[in-house]
Every structure is written in C-alpha cells, then in structure tokens.
Homo-oligomer: A and B are copies of this chain.
Amino acid sequence: MSGMWGNKIKYSIFGESHGEGIGMVIDGLEPGIELDLDFIEGEMARRAPGKDKLSTTRKEGDNFKILSGFFKGKTTGTPFCVFIENTNKKSGDYDKIKETIRPSHGDYTGKIRYNGFNDYRGGGHFSGRLTAPLVFAGAIAKQILKRQNIIIGSHIKSIKNIQDDYFNEDNLKESTIESLLAQDFPLIDINKKEIMEEEILKAREEKDSLGGVIECAILNVKPGVGEPFFNSVESTLSQLLFSIPAIKGVEFGLGFEITKLKGSEANDEFYVEEDTIKTYSNNNGGILGGITNGMPIVFRVAVKPTPSIGKPQRTVDISKMENTLLEIEGRHDPCIVKRAVPVIEAAAAMAILELIKEG
C-alpha cells in the first residue's frame, strides 16, 4: 500500500520537499528506449514554479539526475531511478506549521496518519513538489506512447467561473493538441486568457487563491484497451488523477452532465466509416464498458483553489489543542491550475501506458 503503483511498469515515488530530494524508481521500461532528455526537461519546466506573476516566485531546482537504468543514452530495461535534489530549502519558513495546521492541506491528516513522525517542512511528502517525479515519469510515458501515435493534450477549461470552450468534434484533432501543448497558458479560446489572468492576479492581490477545471484529451488509442472491472480505463485514470494533490473530481465524456440527458440523447450511436467503427457523438468520452472504443478519450478534473492563502484563517495549534489564527506568509501560487496541466497529462500518460498491452 502506498507510494508504488503499476503492474506492467511499476513506479515507486519517494521524497520530501525539504529533505535531500525527491525521486522515483520506474521499473519495467523496455530496454533500448532512446530518451529525449530535452523533451523531459521541457515537461519539467511546464510544471516548475517561479516563471511569472501568475505562479509563486519561489524558484525550485528541478534538475534531475538519473541514478540507474540508463546507459549510453538509452534505457537498459533494469530499474530506472531519477533523483531531483532539493536545492532551495528554507526550513525556517515552515517551522511554524509544525503545530499550526494549515486548513485544507495535508498537515493535520499527515500528522495523524504518521503519528507525528512525518517531515512537516513545506508539506514534506504531501508537497506539490512531489508531482515533479510524476511529470518526469509521464514524459517518458509520453515518448513511448508517441511511437504508437498516441498524443495527450489539455486546456484550462475554467478558472473560477470563467469558461473556455469544451473539446468537441471540431476542435478535437491533432493540430489542436499541438497548439495547446505550445501554449504557456493553454486555452482553446485564447481570448479568455486575459480575463483569466486578471482574475488570478486579483486573487493574488487579495492574498487569496483560485481553482479551476482542466480538460484533457488522449487521441489515437486503439479500441479494446482496458478491463471491465477494477482496471477499467476510468478506474485506472482516476486512481492516478486522484493521487495528485488538489484534485476533487474526475469525469469522463459528458460526465455529470450526462445524467441530465435521456438515454436516446446520451447514447453514442455507431456508424461505419472507411472500415472503421465510430460514434456520432462522444458522450462516453471514448470509453464503453471500461474499454476504449477508438474515439478520443476525454476527461475533466476539478482543481481546488490553492489552500495556501495569505488571508488570516481560523485553525488549531495542535500542540496546545487550542483554536488560533494563521496567516501564511511567503510566496505561494495564487492558482496552480496552469502548473497542474502537465501533471494531469503525465498521470494520463502513465495510465494509458499501463493499460496498453503491447508497450
């Protein structure tokens, strides 16, 4: 139970945000994969903080070091370990949270779960920084999937109540995915960028934070991938997605909206086109009976507003078991939705790679 996941390829995550570093063992990679380290760095950079005013100004060194399983530029097939040293740790900033638990963070639950022995500095093992190894693993998975022409892309569906367009049959194509991957703040309707960014900056000024929805699409997965029980495509994706801090909802296809339709409206009718079976609509998000049907896989995740806010909050000093007020200082993300995009895609890549039989 715990920090290991996967069957065909197994992942073992480790590390704390203010300890020696964070990392991951990836076991089961086929030998001979020529890794594009620049691509991996690019993916890491998409997640990294400190790039502009929309994110925390904190700089983290996300320079990774491959400790094993990589020889002469290629995977060896034996366990692959990556390590990212923690270089910019200011433990002092965080010492007060040792006792004054931050609302909506894992401080309290982690303390109970680990009987008070977990590393509390900067959230420790619960820190969003732990998503860096996920992005690393996802960048490898993406490269493997790419060889089968499978591509993954996402956009910011909403920030607070400001909505981008949905993926639909018109925009859900490879060129859109490529365009999204090229955008720093990926949107289908790029006119929304300014309003969304303004809203985020306003929250920043108010020492507050915002959440949003990310919509992700996976193209070119063949039909027949997945299992009816326990490892349905939805099960596998959601298990990984709900491991990412701040995710509170996952829905596929029309998701919760499908419950408002009649069966005759919701059902995805089939037709044949060029010897391929397709559906007119894609309300099921490419998945039927837990198994892919060849249509794009589409899902959305709800990202809650960053729990770290500067406004005073009511909380408890658990050393004294007394109510108190907390004002979190320091540099925090007013909105992590943008930085969560590559993490969501990484989880999606890991999940799809697991489900596909022939890696």
Contacts and interface: CB of A to CB of B under 8 A. Distances in A.
Contacts of A74: 117
Given A104-B288, A263-B308, 4 more contacts: A19-B68, A104-B268, A256-B300, A262-B305
Contacts of A19: 67-68, 71
A67 B21 contact: yes
A69 B1 contact: no
Given A103-B268, A238-B250, A1 B5 contact: no
Interface in A197-256: 203, 206, 208-213, 223-232, 234-236, 238-240, 242-243, 245, 247-256
A69 B20 CA distance: 10
Closest 9 CB pairs of A and B: A106-B289, A249-B251, A209-B263, A112-B224, A109-B291, A234-B242, A31-B117, A263-B305, A77-B114
Interface stretch (A48-56, A176-184, A312-320): A312-320
Interface residues of A, number: 146
Nearest to A7: B1
Contact of A113 (B119, B203, B226): B226
20 contacts: A2-B79, A3-B230, A4-B4, A14-B25, A14-B80, A15-B81, A76-B124, A78-B114, A78-B228, A104-B268, A106-B290, A109-B287, A110-B228, A206-B262, A209-B264, A211-B259, A211-B260, A213-B256, A238-B250, A248-B285
Nearest to A123: B289
Among A275, A287, A288, A307, find the residue whose CB has the most chain B CB atoms closer than 10 A. A288
A12 to B, nearest CB: 4
Contacts of A209: 262-264
A76 B118 contact: yes
Interface in A39-58: none
A341 B254 CA distance: 21
B258 A302 contact: yes
A16 B229 CA distance: 13
Contacts of A77: 113-115, 117-118
Contacts of A75: 117
B224 A316 contact: no
A89 to B, nearest CB: 13
A21 to B, nearest CB: 6
